Structure 1
Amino acid sequence: MKQLFPFCAVALLSACNVGETTTAPQTPDKSAQVSFDEQRFRADITTLSSDKFEGRAPTTQGEKLTLDYLSAAFNEMGLIGAVNGSYLQAVPMVSYTASEQQSVNLAGIDMQYRQDIVLSSRHDNQQVSIKEAPLVFVGYGINAPEYQWNDYQGVDMKGKIAVILVNDPGFAHPNDKKFNGNAMTYYGRWSYKFEEASRQGALGAIIIHDTKPASYPWSVVENSWTGPQQDLVLAKAEQDARVQVEGWITLDSAKRLFDKAGLSLSGLMDRAADSALNVDLAQTASIAFTNKADYADSYNVVATLPGSSQADEHIVFTAHWDHIGVDDSKEGDNIYNGALDNASGTAGILEIARQFAKQAKAEHGLKRSLTFIATTGEEQGLLGSRYYAANPIYPINKTVAVFNLDSTNVYGKTKDYTIVGKGQSELEVYLEQAAATQNRVTTGESNPASGGFFRSDHFSFAKLGVPAVFAGGGAQPLDEETAQYKAAMTEQMKGCYHNVCDHYREDWDLSGALQDLGVYYQAAHALGNNQDWPGYYAGSEFYPLRPAD
């Protein structure tokens, strides 16, 4: 693990002077042994996911209640507000709301909003009106020179709408060693696909939803992509370059579209996984709906526990406080409480912060500073963490590492410990050694095809070269009793991701969550008292930014 010269610019880290390699301590000292307060942890989850907080959507009354709650908690601990004494970092946002009444005709087929298709526009244009725009199938919508792959080769997308497969070619043919096999690359993420279609000058982009490669059902798309859609306020040139309309179409509706074009979708999917591909569907799209844009600041909550002798070097904990909010179009329960995702993670960083603050008051403070960031807008595309990474309160080249909590383990203790995207950086060594003190082994996630490493706030820092981890839970229950509980609770929670049934449950076994908080705590404690600068391993796309030895 490199000791990097601290004033090197992050883009030049690969050329920085390097010191001796050091190793994280095998056994944490006594001050690293903590006992988390389960009752307080539960209380934080319960409050943050209560109906009173209205699903914690950004720029709502639910946000205000959340900000007040988190600020008060950090203040009670004695952590300082990182924004000139305030805990709040303003994140300029715009909220786009597409009408529920949409006229969408693809290849002469009328598509029903929510049932067949979900579309939105990230433009302040009041009215979307597209008439007979050509539809072009662009395979996975990837332009990746390092893989000698360009689905847009030879096609001018100006005035056209791209129809795109979800995930990347490695998922379809994992044994062909394309991309990263079954483990999704960033090229498989929906956010990349819309970004690349925009760079190609496309008028619109529609992703074909398929549950297995997407790793979530259509209900997640319907719940997450309807209603107000937040985004960062962009510079005019960047905004103008964005596709005019973007969204998702169900697999069955896409099949109808391709049948109308006289093409086999399944056949084209096979071809698209073999090599870069684009096909003019010889069909058009006509789309019309009203669109509203509202501007308002949302906020990250940023609190710091200063270090004793290396206070300018920061170890960061992140967890997103936001969720989906309220859907007034639903009858009955219409509040997306977001208890697991991510009131639990937010409660987690509060509990970790309390323990470090307690240790600091007992004169066992760390040499390095700890900064806790409860981010906004993660559900809308990592907005809060993206904004912080672009507008850091503390320099990125002074940010040692990031530990991210996004949904904690409510299924009891485990024999193993999951590191999402395992094999990325030396920061994982700290997790491995901390987990070993609990007699646990570290493993990668069971479904790498879901692209978990790219789906939460740590990724905003990883893109800038900061070693960042997203870890917790495991696949192996501690004992048979825990296994039976897990099976029953898994059935209860089935279908609750981004749904109204993600609410707090009194019978959650949070012992596993507390176990995981201990791993993060010990790892940060070890890193906070040495001079190591973990780097990314060769083979990681982030290696050139902050390389490991």
Structure 2
Amino acid sequence: MMKKSISILCLMVILTTCKGGKTNNTKSSVPANPADYAKTITQEELKTLLYKYASDEFEGRNTGEKGQKMAVEYLKSQYKSMGIGTPYSGDDYFQEVPLQKPSVAVAEVSINGKTYDAFTNHIILILSKSLDINTSDVVYVGHGIDDENYSDYKDIDVKGKVVLAKSGEPKDTNGNYVTSGDTEDTKWTNGRQSLSSKRNAAQENGAKAMLYFDSALFSRYAPFYQRQSESGFSGRLSLKSDSGDFAFMMINEDMAKAIHVTVNEDSSVKNLKTSLSIKAERKAEEVMSENVVAFIKGSEKPDEILVISAHLDHEGIKNGEVYNGADDDGSGTVAILEIAEAFQQAVKDGHQPKRSILFLHVTGEEKGLLGSRYYTDMDPIFPLENTVADLNIDMIGRIDPKRKEGDRNYVYLIGSDKLSKELHELSEEVNKKYTNVELDYTYNDENDPNRYYYRSDHYNFVKNNIPVIFYFNGTHDDYHKPSDTPDKIEYDLLENRTRLVFHTAWEVANRDNRVVVD
């Protein structure tokens, strides 16, 4: 990356405090002006970086494949050229993320002596280990919801048992969903999101397996899984041993009624006496991927960590076409590089941040937020209790065509006020002072039907009670298509949005007290 002079004064500081091009760690007596360092973030450099990163050369950066390996090496080379180190020893910028690519498992199932066929009556969505269940005790958990406002698990023990749950969510006498109190779909009612929500609820309550009854989803999923099985296609990537000792199956109405004949009408939780046998074998191919981590150590509070994150992966090559992922999330990736360079220039000028900053490029976001989940749930490089905030950047280079009103110089902010009012107010003040981006909170709603609050890497920090801001421009016609190319990026907007993240990071890293979690 090109290095830019920012002012005659700063050049004098560099010349008098640096020797042989090495970073000067002596604190400057001249107060730092973050606006000077924000100016080092330019659309010209962002464009140069993105045309490289989102080129055909990187083959769409599919997790675990050649293009993704090239991408992480490229990011490593950028940090080394900037003189930014790593939290590991030597020049190891990679946090290895062990993944697995499971084959489509096929189960043998019988209920009260009658056989039920794979793909006609049931499919396996998750199988962590080979399965051999013979039981006469199945727990019916109604809709399988476990929420602070309503829970099907509150009065029953499901540890080590098989649970049966059905789709949907109850409503109160006013026609509002019981978990939210309004008519908007929630994470318990919204299609694929309800799958993960109800699966997680069963796992967290200790169930060994879940049978999930959803006729509409089953009719869509079963043919797809059957084609995968017949072609020998390996299923979706997951974290190695991610699901623990757990099986998750989707079943049709015939099988659900065989277990509980009044399943459609009855939502009351109960133990069912039925003879159930399930056998299945799990096979998986191991895949190794990498998060890229670079690190600037804080001068006064080095144990307090600010994370700035973006995902480095995309969709790869499909049907011979490269899915370049310029906006998703090449834009966030190169934004972090420019932010890191700006902070490193400040360090060279004697303005080391008070808190440490971890620049975190995560893998496997497109496969289910895998890299960030590995960082937060399995191998946090720094203790999560020391992490003051996560500023997550995912798609900040385009304009949402559905946004008909407002300034083109906008960005959607999601999550800024969910865990820390102070972080939200800080963000607003910094923007007003430095960048004047129109901050749009349209999608800052946990019940937003698009579910954006749950769909990018910041959410794995949210789960761990860490304040976040998610920066996002919205989707567009090129989202997850080979046409998401660098020539369509609005580089002036990318520059200003990147500067906004930098100024917010500067304030979080240098304020006297860490942001307060509400």
TM-score (norm 2): 0.71
1:91-110 residue pairs with structure 2 within 5 A?
Answer: 91-99=96-104
Q: CA separation in 2, counterparts of 1:172 and 1:473?
A: 39
1:483-522 residue pairs with structure 2 within 5 A?
Answer: 490=476, 492-493=477-478, 496-497=479-480, 500-501=481-482, 503-504=484-485, 506-522=487-503
Provide the residue aligned with 1:21 in structure 2. Answer: none
Q: Does 1:344 align with 2:331?
A: yes
Provide the residue aligned with 1:356 in structure 2. Answer: 343
Provide the residue aligned with 2:507 in structure 1. Answer: 526
Gaps of 5+ in 2: 1-32, 401-406
Q: CA separation in 2, counterparts of 1:284 and 1:445?
A: 44
Q: CA separation in 1, counterparts of 2:70 and 2:260?
A: 54
From 73, 78, 81, the equivalent of 2:78 is 73
From 246, 250, 259, the equivalent of 1:242 is 246
Provide the residue aligned with 2:394 in structure 1. Answer: 406
CA contact (8 A) 2:136 2:274 kept: no
- 1:366 deviates by 2.5
Provide the residue aligned with 1:231 in structure 2. Answer: 238
CA contact (8 A) 1:94 1:293 kept: no
CA contact (8 A) 2:311 2:365 kept: yes
Provide the residue aligned with 2:65 in structure 1. Answer: 60
Question: Which deviations, in whole Å up to 9, do the C-alpha atoms of 1:447-488 show, x marking residues without a partner?
Answer: 6234333332222223333212213337xxxxxxxxxxxxxx
- 1:137 deviates by 6.9
Mean Cα displacement is larger for which, 295-304 or 279-288?
279-288
From 431, 435, 445, the equivalent of 1:435 is 431
1:105-124 residue pairs with structure 2 within 5 A?
Answer: 119-124=124-129
Q: CA separation in 1, counterparts of 2:171 and 2:493?
A: 33
Question: Which deviations, in whole Å up to 9, do the C-alpha atoms of 1:496-534 show, x marking residues without a partner?
Answer: 44xx54632523334333332222111111222212221
Q: CA separation in 1, counterparts of 2:213 and 2:396?
A: 30
Pairwise CA RMSD of aligned residues? 4.6
From 283, 287, 300, the equivalent of 1:309 is 300
Provide the residue aligned with 2:468 in structure 1. Answer: 468
- 1:80 deviates by 0.3
Mean Cα displacement is larger for which, 74-83 or 365-374?
365-374
Q: CA separation in 2, counterparts of 1:48 and 1:119?
A: 37
Instruction: Mark the CA change 1:374 to 1:156 in structure 2 (over 3 Å): closer, same or farther.
Output: closer
Instruction: Mark the CA change 1:164 to 1:186 in structure 2 (over 3 Å): closer, same or farther.
Output: closer
Provide the residue aligned with 1:322 in structure 2. Answer: 313
Instruction: Mark the CA change 1:353 to 1:29 in structure 2 (over 3 Å): closer, same or farther.
Output: closer
Instruction: Mark the CA change 1:57 to 1:422 in structure 2 (over 3 Å): closer, same or farther.
Output: same
Instruction: Mark the CA change 1:446 to 1:260 in structure 2 (over 3 Å): closer, same or farther.
Output: farther
Instruction: Mark the CA change 1:260 to 1:232 in structure 2 (over 3 Å): closer, same or farther.
Output: closer
CA contact (8 A) 1:140 1:151 kept: no
CA contact (8 A) 1:91 1:387 kept: no
Q: Secondary structure at the match of 2:246?
A: coil
Gaps of 5+ in 1: 1-27, 212-216, 475-488, 538-549
Question: What amino acid is aligned across from residue 463 of structure 1 in structure 2?
Answer: K
Provide the residue aligned with 2:451 in structure 1. Answer: 451
Question: Which deviations, in whole Å up to 9, do the C-alpha atoms of 1:73-119 show, x marking residues without a partner?
Answer: 11112210211133434435241322498999999886759xx9874
Q: Secondary structure at the match of 2:309?
A: strand
Instruction: Mark the CA change 1:85 to 1:190 in structure 2 (over 3 Å): closer, same or farther.
Output: farther
- 1:445 deviates by 0.7
Q: CA separation in 2, counterparts of 1:68 and 1:454?
A: 29
From 344, 355, 373, the equivalent of 2:360 is 373
Q: CA separation in 1, counterparts of 2:277 and 2:186?
A: 30
Q: Secondary structure at the match of 2:344?
A: helix
Q: CA separation in 2, counterparts of 1:507 and 1:117?
A: 44
Provide the residue aligned with 1:193 in structure 2. Answer: 198
Question: What amino acid is aligned across from residue 398 of structure 2 in structure 1?
Answer: V
- 1:433 deviates by 1.8
- 1:374 deviates by 0.7
Q: CA separation in 1, counterparts of 2:442 and 2:374?
A: 29
Q: CA separation in 1, counterparts of 2:108 and 2:50?
A: 41
Q: Secondary structure at the match of 2:101?
A: strand
CA contact (8 A) 1:320 1:345 kept: yes
CA contact (8 A) 1:421 1:444 kept: no
CA contact (8 A) 2:396 2:411 kept: no
% identical aligned pairs: 22
- 1:316 deviates by 1.1
Q: Secondary structure at the match of 2:327?
A: helix
Q: Secondary structure at the match of 2:290?
A: strand
Q: CA separation in 1, counterparts of 2:498 and 2:57?
A: 27
Provide the residue aligned with 2:145 in structure 1. Answer: 142
- 1:60 deviates by 2.5
Q: CA separation in 1, counterparts of 2:107 and 2:58?
A: 31
Which is greater in Rg? 2
CA contact (8 A) 1:320 1:457 kept: yes
Q: CA separation in 2, counterparts of 1:418 and 1:149?
A: 33
Instruction: Mark the CA change 1:96 to 1:317 in structure 2 (over 3 Å): closer, same or farther.
Output: same
Provide the residue aligned with 1:3 in structure 2. Answer: none
Question: Which deviations, in whole Å up to 9, do the C-alpha atoms of 1:111-140 show, x marking residues without a partner?
Answer: 759xx9874444354xx7889999987454
CA contact (8 A) 1:404 1:470 kept: yes
Q: CA separation in 1, counterparts of 2:87 and 2:384?
A: 15
Provide the residue aligned with 1:299 in structure 2. Answer: 290
TM-score (norm 1): 0.67
Question: What amino acid is aligned across from residue 485 of structure 2 in structure 1?
Answer: Y
Q: Does 1:165 align with 2:167?
A: yes
Q: CA separation in 2, counterparts of 1:174 and 1:408?
A: 38
CA contact (8 A) 1:319 1:375 kept: yes
